[in-house]
Amino acid sequence: MARLRSTLGVLFSRSAVRYGLALLCFSALGLVAAKTLRIESDFTAFLPPSATPEERLLIAQLRDGLVSRLMLVALHGADENTLARASRGLAEKLGHAPEFDYAANGSLNQFAVQGEVLMRHRYALSPNVNSQHFSAPALRAALEEQLAQLGSPFGMLSRTILARDPTGEFLATLRQLDPGSMPALRQGVWFSADGQRAFLIAQTRAPGFDSVRQASAMATVRKALAEVNPKVEITLTGSGVFAAESRRLIERDAVNLSLCSAIAILAMLLFVYRSALPVALVLTPVTFGLLIGVLVVQALFGSVHGITLGFAATLLGEAVDYPNYLLLNTAAGETARGAARRIGRTLALAVLTTVASALALTLSSFTGLAQLGVLTMVGITVAGLATRYLIPWLLGDRVLDFRRLHVPAGAAAAQAGWPRMIGLAATVCGALWLASTYPAWWERDLASISPVPEEMRAMDLRLRREMGAPETSLFLASRGASETAALQVAEEILPVLQEWKQAGWIRSYDSPAWYLPAPATQTGRLRSLPDTPTLQKNLDEALHGLAFRADAFAPFVRDVAAARVQAPLTRAAYAATPLGAKLNALVVELEGQWLVLTPLVGVSDPGKLAASLSAMPEGGSRGRSSDTTQLVDLKQISTQMVDGFSRAALRQAAVGTLLITVLLILGLGSLKRTLHVAAPAAAALVVTAAVLTAGGQRLGVFHLVALLLVLGIGLNYALFFERTPADAAERERTRLALAVCSISTFTTFGFLSLSATPVLHAIGSTVALGALVSLVLSALWARPSFS
Amino acid sequence: MNVLRLPAVALIAFIALLASSTESLAQAGVFDLVRLMQLLSLAPEAEVAYTEKKYSSLLAEPIVSSGTLSYRRPDTVEKNMTAPRSERFRIAGEELIVVRNGAERRLPLSSQPLLSAFAASLRGVLAGDAALLRSHYRLALEGEEQGWRLEMIPLEEEISRYVERITVSGRAGRIEEIEVRESSGDRSVLQVR
Verify that A733 and A777 share a domain, yes or no. yes
- My answer on whether omega of the bond before B84 falls inside 30° of 0, hence cis, is yes
Cis peptide bond prior to A439, omega within 30° of 0: yes
Residue A674 pLDDT exceeds 50: yes
Nearest CA in chain A to B86: A148
Q: Is residue A142 part of a domain?
A: yes
Q: Biggest alpha carbon distance in chain A? A: 131
Give dist(CA A381, CA A454) in Å, integer. 36
pLDDT for A704 equals: 80
Cross-chain CB nearest to B111 (options A160, A185, A552): A185
In angstroms, the CA A778 to CA A722 distance is 8
Phi and psi dihedrals of B169, rounded to 5?
-125, 160
What SS3 state is found at B80? strand
Q: How many contacts, defined by CB atoms under 8 Å, are there between A and B?
A: 76
Chain A residues interacting with chain B (CB cutoff of 8 angstroms): 107-109, 147-148, 150-154, 156-157, 159-160, 162-163, 184-188, 547-550, 552-553
> Do A80 and A219 share a domain, yes or no?
yes
> What mean pLDDT is predicted for residues A137-144?
90
**Bridge partners of A587?**
A596
pLDDT in tens, A185-209: 787 788 887 888 999 988 888 887 7
Q: CB–CB of B58 and A549 under 8 A? A: yes
Following DSSP, what letter does each residue of B173-186 receive, concatenated?
A: TEEEEEEEEETTS-
- pLDDT higher than 60, residue B4: no
The dihedral over CA atoms of B7, B13, B19, B23, expressed in degrees to the nearest 10, equals: -160
Residue A287 is assigned to a structural domain of this protein? yes
Sign of the dihedral through C-alpha A752, A754, A760, A762: positive
CB contact under 8 A, A162 and B59: no
Instruction: Kindly state whether residues A309 and A418 are assigned to the same domain.
Output: no
Do A591 and A563 share a structural domain? no
CATH code of the domain in which A755 resides: 1.20.1640.10
Q: Do A188 and B162 touch (CB under 8 A)?
A: no
Same structural domain for residues A297 and A417? no
Report the SS3 class of residue B141: strand
Segment A501-510 mean pLDDT = 86
CA–CA separation, A721 and A725 (whole Å): 9
Cα dihedral A134/A136/A141/A142 (nearest 10): 40
Supply φ then ψ for residue A591, to 5 degrees: 55, 50
A723 and A610 in a common domain: no
Do A637 and A54 contact (CB within 8 A), yes or no?
Answer: yes
Inter-residue contact A226 to A133 (CB < 8 Å)? no
Q: Which of B60, B113, B180 sits opposite A187 (nearest CB)?
A: B113
Task: Label each residue of A745-783 as H, E or C.
Answer: HHHHHHHHCCCCCHHHHHHHHHHHHHHHHHHHHHHHHCC
B163 touching chain A per CB within 8 A? yes
Partner residue opposite B184 with nearest CB, options A160, A188, A549: A160
What pLDDT does residue B5 have? 40
Q: Cis peptide leading into A98, omega within 30 of 0?
A: no
Is B186 an interface residue toward A (CB < 8 Å)?
A: yes
- Assign B13 a pLDDT band (cuts: 50, 70, 90): very low
CB A558 within 8 A of CB A166: no
Provide the pLDDT for residue A73. Answer: 92
**Nearest CA distance, A564 vs chain B (angstrom):** 25
Q: Are A290 and A392 in contact (CB under 8 A)?
A: no
- Coil/strand/helix, residue B82: strand
Most confident of A62-71, A202-211, A515-524, A732-741: A515-524
For residues A298-305, average pLDDT: 85
In a domain, A648, yes or no: no
In this prediction the ipTM stands at: 0.75
Å from B27 to nearest chain A CA? 41
Asked if residue A462 is part of any domain, the answer here is: no
Do residue A280 and residue A366 come from a single domain? yes
- pLDDT over 70 at A488, yes or no: yes
CB-CB neighbors (< 8 A) of A148 in chain B: 85, 100
**A305 falls in which pLDDT band (50, 70, 90)?**
confident
Q: Do A185 and B112 touch (CB under 8 A)?
A: yes
> CB-based contact (8 Å) between B180 and chain A?
yes
Q: Of A152, A160, A552, which has the smallest distance from its Cβ to B87's Cβ?
A: A152
pLDDT in the model for residue B25:
42
Residues A445-476 have pLDDT tens digits of 666 666 667 778 788 888 877 776 556 678 88
| The pLDDT of residue B19 | 43
Please check whether residue B83 touches A, CB under 8 A: no
Q: What is the mean pLDDT of residues A31-59?
A: 69
Please give the residue of chain B at the shortest CA–CA distance from A555: B58
Tens-place pLDDT, residues A750-777 = 888 888 777 778 888 898 899 889 888 8
Say if residues A304 and A724 touch (Cβ distance below 8 Å).
no
Specify the range with the lowest mean pLDDT, choosing from A30-44, A543-557, A619-633, A756-770.
A619-633
Tally the domains of chain B.
Answer: 1
pLDDT of residue A384: 93
Distance from CA of A702 to the nearest CA of B (A): 48
Chain B nearest C-alpha distance from A155 (Å): 10
Q: Which residues of B6-28 are buried (b: 16+ CB within 10 A; e: fewer)?
A: eeeeeeebeeeeeeeeeeeeeee
Average pLDDT of the residues in B129-152:
91
CA distances from A614 to A474, A503, A611 (A): 16, 18, 5
Q: For residue A63, is pLDDT > 80?
A: no
Q: How much of chain B is helix, strand and coil, in % rounded to 5?
A: 30, 45, 25
Beta bridge partner(s), residue B168: B150, B178
Candidates B58, B122, B157: best to mutate against A (most CBs of A within 10 A) is B58
Inter-chain touch A150–B54, beta carbons under 8 Å: yes
Q: Which residues of B, range 127-146, sit inside 8 Å of A by Cβ?
A: none
Please check the confidence at residue A234 and state whether its pLDDT lies above 90: yes
Same domain as A681, residue A621: no
* Cα dihedral A158, A163, A167, A170 sign: negative
What is the domain extent for residue A545? 69-241+523-569
Q: Spell out which residues of chain B touch residue A147, defining contact as CB-CB under 8 Å.
A: 63
- CB–CB contact A154 B89 (8 Å): yes
**Average pLDDT for chain A:** 81
Q: How far apart are CA A221 and CA A233, in angstroms?
A: 12
Domain extent, residue B149, equals 2-192
Q: How far from chain centre, in Å, is Cα A116? A: 38
Torsion angle, CA of A381/A387/A391/A396, rounded to 10 degrees? -110
**Chain A residues in contact with B113 (beta carbon < 8 A):** 187-188
User: Does residue A646 fall inside a structural domain?
Assistant: no
pLDDT at B26: 40
CB contact B23 to A (< 8 Å): no
CB A365 within 8 A of CB A268: no
How far apart, in whole angstroms, are the C-alpha atoms of residue A612 and residue A98?
45
Best to test chain A binding among B90, B95, B111 (most A CBs inside 10 Å): B111
User: Which CATH number belongs to the domain containing residue B47 in this structure?
Assistant: 2.50.20.10
Structural domain contains residue A267: no
pLDDT of residue B178: 92
Percent of chain A surpassing pLDDT 70: 85
Q: How many domains does chain A have?
A: 4
